[in-house]
Amino acid sequence: MSMPFYVSPEQLMKDRADFARKGIAKGRSVVAVQYADGVLFACENPSRALHKVSEIYDRIAFAAVGRSNEFENLRIAGVRLADMRGYAYDRRDVTARALATAYAQTLGTIFSSGGEKPYEVELFVAEIGDSAEDDQIYRLTYDGQVADAQGYGVMGGAVDTVASFLETRFHEGLTLEEAVQLAVGALGHSDSGDRVIQEADLEVAVLDRTRLQPRKFRRLRPTDLQRMLGERQPTSEEPPAPPDDPPLAPPT
């Protein structure tokens, strides 16, 4: 019979955090970039059906990295929460702050409860206001921590490389074209050189203040991206990146 070993709480939490972080680092990055008319999300995702960026409500969007069955669950919960609040109160009473809090509580409880596997996900929850000053981007980590992203945010695989690329080039008041170029450039950036990501392999969506409809979420199609990105040249020859984690569960 084996003896139960004492494991310190610090070690227990560290192990769980390492486990979650490892799972998240396997996937590719998602970036969120603020521009003059809203917030842009971009990631490398060859699948047309399984989205990493999606609409939650009129002015609120969601992006995720990590295990797709887990973040898909959270996405659906977010849509349900937003629609229920909007139906019970009013459309204006649905806020990203409330949603981010609900996600944080959920992720935090699961992370610190002994019996459950921590979620291997990180999330962006963003909301646009009437002007760029009112835009909010929340970044949530696997343990339920919430951080405010200022101007831009990165999560997923090569966070540091992509973030340093954005840090040197980001400025306020970008146009949509500039924001797309910046985000896609950052996704293709690595320490050994930049590669060109094909338009068909990109998933790009915006919360666009200038849209006339109350629902401000819009996906950019490959033809839109082609027009905005123009001709691109790789700076170095590089083998294609390893394939992303296959989806573990179809969207429900």
- Contact residues toward another protein (CB under 8 A) are 49, 51, 54-56, 73-74, 76-77, 79-81, 83-84, 86-88, 102-103, 105-106, 108-110, 213, 215, 251-252
What's the min distance (Å) between Cβ of 96 and another protein?
A: 15
Could you give the angle at the alpha carbon of 58 between the alpha carbons of 48 and 67, nearest 5°? 40
Residue number, 23 or 144, with CB nearest to another protein? 144
Strand pairing partners for 60? 57, 127
What's the min distance (Å) between Cβ of 103 and another protein?
A: 8
Report, in angstroms and rounded to the nearest whole number, the Rg of the chain calculated over CA atoms: 19
Q: Which long-range contacts (CB under 8 A, 24 or more apart) does 196-201 make?
A: 196/232, 196/233, 196/234, 197/44, 199/223, 199/225, 199/226, 199/229, 200/46, 201/44, 201/45, 201/46
Residue number, 11 or 109, with CB nearest to another protein? 109
Residue number, 194 or 208, with CB nearest to another protein? 208
Residue number, 224 or 238, with CB nearest to another protein? 224
Grouping H, G, I as helix, E, B as strand and the rest as coil, residue 235 is: coil
What's the min distance (Å) between Cβ of 54 and another protein?
A: 7
Residue number, 93 or 177, with CB nearest to another protein? 93
What's the min distance (Å) between Cβ of 227 and another protein?
A: 21
Cα–Cα dist 6/220, whole Å: 53
Cα–Cα dist 81/187, whole Å: 31
Which residue type sits at 117? K
